Structure 1
Amino acid sequence: MATPDTGMLIRLSDSDETVSGADEDIRDRKVKDKAGADIGRVSDLLVDATEHKVRFLEVASGGFLGIGRDKTYIPVDAITSITSGEVFIDQTHKHIAGAPLYDPDLVRNRDTYGSILEYYGYVPYWAPGYRYPDFPDYRR
């Protein structure tokens, strides 16, 4: 059985796509690790161009006034809950600090996505039996 074309992820801000409702757009929300420590802010969302589902959060941290900010990708699978101002994930600050950094040249490379998912301990979203996460703990 052939796997769907999952090699093309696009940044939501670079597309004509929108989030269904403004209250569901998690961009610019703070990201907190599983102990509640600040990780950074959701700077963008990487969306599967075929299935139109968010696959990764692009999280920016550090810097001053946006200068010198580091970016990393965090799989949506890591989200444990969402509030009106924060996104909580099931990873530690230390683990995220060791994650591969954002590389704009690799933004459309399936191997890169696979290695990021592997780093965080998740199966690829293109693997048979993968189930897209639901977020029942969304609080406004």
Structure 2
Amino acid sequence: MNINYLTPLLVVIICNVCYHLISKSISGTTNTFIALFITYGVACLISAFGFLVTSKNYFITEVTKVNVSNVLLGLVVVGIEGGYILMYRSGWEISKGSLIVNMCVAIILLIVGILVFRDGITIKKIIGVALCIIGIFFINK
């Protein structure tokens, strides 16, 4: 495996761990949506800087390439992040909440991948799904 393949994986893992630690640390007295407003304000500034550094095109040229998927992604990201904040505030343990969510998402995406995107199904995938379901059961016991 080369570095171009592993680096994004490591970035996602490190940022995901930090994401959950930070989400769990957000004050319970802070309104969830003002917290997300500040979060996305910072993300907007960093994204704008990243665009300026990496693009030779004008902003309007790049905006014309955007489609409805970008808007939908914005909607679901707010749901994910707001959902995690609310999960942690309602008492979910950091060691259980994300794990259960990610196992459920993995199972659903495996099914969607097979039905919609024609991903292959293997005995290893079936065993993996079974282990996830067993894991969800044991984690909640």
Q: TM-score range by the shorter chain?
A: under 0.3
Larger Rg: 2
Higher helix share: 2
Q: TM (normalized to structure 1)? A: 0.25
Higher strand share: 1
Higher relative CO (CA 8 A, sep ≥ 6), structure 1 or 2? 2
